[in-house]
Amino acid sequence: MDNLKISAAEMQAIKAQMKAKGLRITPQRFAVYANLLHRDDHPTVEAILTEINCELPIASKASVYSALTVLREVGLVREVLLDEGVTRYDARITPHHHFICQNCGAIADLDWDALGELPIHRLPPGFQLEGYEVILKGKCDRC
Amino acid sequence: MDNLKISAAEMQAIKAQMKAKGLRITPQRFAVYANLLHRDDHPTVEAILTEINCELPIASKASVYSALTVLREVGLVREVLLDEGVTRYDARITPHHHFICQNCGAIADLDWDALGELPIHRLPPGFQLEGYEVILKGKCDRC
DNA sequence: TTAAATGCAAACTATTTGCACGTAA
DNA sequence: TTACGTGCAAATAGTTTGCATTTAA
């Protein structure tokens, strides 16, 4: 059912999270969410599809899109707009920033407290701030 | 040739900028760049196309894509990844941040110095920072 | 049992490409 | 004059949709 080696306990925990959001547990949805939880490379739909179908076919592309849509709707995953033309997904929903390597394109998560509180001097009048995200660019450790 | 009312002087200035980058001046390229310089709504290709062809047809969609590609290559315009599925363009190349209204989707520029210097506590070892951009989310003045 | 999810294929949208023709320098 | 740009149409890539079939609860 799944090419990840996860304990039964963790499997239950993941399912519990999904149930708590009112989602029906299907093998496809579980595979997508579990896969996303176990990687930190902000994969595209294509990449998720390849990994979960690696050993034996489990989900179609349409189902991956569908699973991601509901998972996003209930707030278990979010999409990241860091790449041209493709949407990438992330199951890490606690606030954090992103570092993009301009050499190899790698995307690294940056803990929220790696940056201090953002000093906002002046927001245009009438604007209400609800959140922010910083995108850092440069060279990663491997480049 | 163009539905914008710009002075001959400004026209020359724009052409000079393009020539300085080694670009051949064609009506299509000029229209695209001049249009982009005169708006601040980070338009999509579709929006640019509509505006420059508003009075009389001047450019095809392929030419707008082509113009944007060269303009981007020489650094006169940049793309902004703030929207799902579409690439938006910006002729404002000096560093600035973006505010996205989560209600109406409007994208507003935020001057660089509206925010203070970003306090970077700890960057992972081996990472070299070259620049950053902040994306703020909330409600704009009209919502 | 049954409302909801899946899979497939077709539709759609954004973008790219190939090539004959036109034009800026 | 000629290398380069344009326009059109066809190709590609990412994503969405319609519908018959299957399945989780």
Mean pLDDT of A102-117: 88
Q: What is the pLDDT of residue A122?
A: 81
Of B128, B142, B38, B129, residue with least CA distance to B99: B142
Gap between the Cα atoms of B64 and B27, Å rounded: 11
pLDDT at A5 over 90: no
Q: What is the pLDDT of residue B103?
A: 86
pLDDT at A4 over 70: no
Domains of chain A: 2-90 (1.10.10.10), 96-138 (3.30.1490)
pLDDT digits (tens, 9 = 90+) for A35-65: 999 999 999 999 999 999 999 999 999 999 9
State percent of chain B over pLDDT 70.
Answer: 97
- Taking all atoms of strand C, which protein residues have CB closer than 7 Å? A 23-24, 26, 28-29, 58-60, 62-63, 66-67, 70, 85; B 19, 24-27, 44-46, 61-62, 65-66, 69, 85-87
- Picking from A113, A122, A135, the nearest residue to B135 by CB comes out as A135
Which of B96, B127, B140 is most worth mutating to test chain A (most A CB atoms within 10 A of its CB)?
B127
pLDDT at A31 over 50: yes
**Beta-sheet strands, E only, within chain A:** 78-80, 88-90, 96-101, 107-111, 128-139
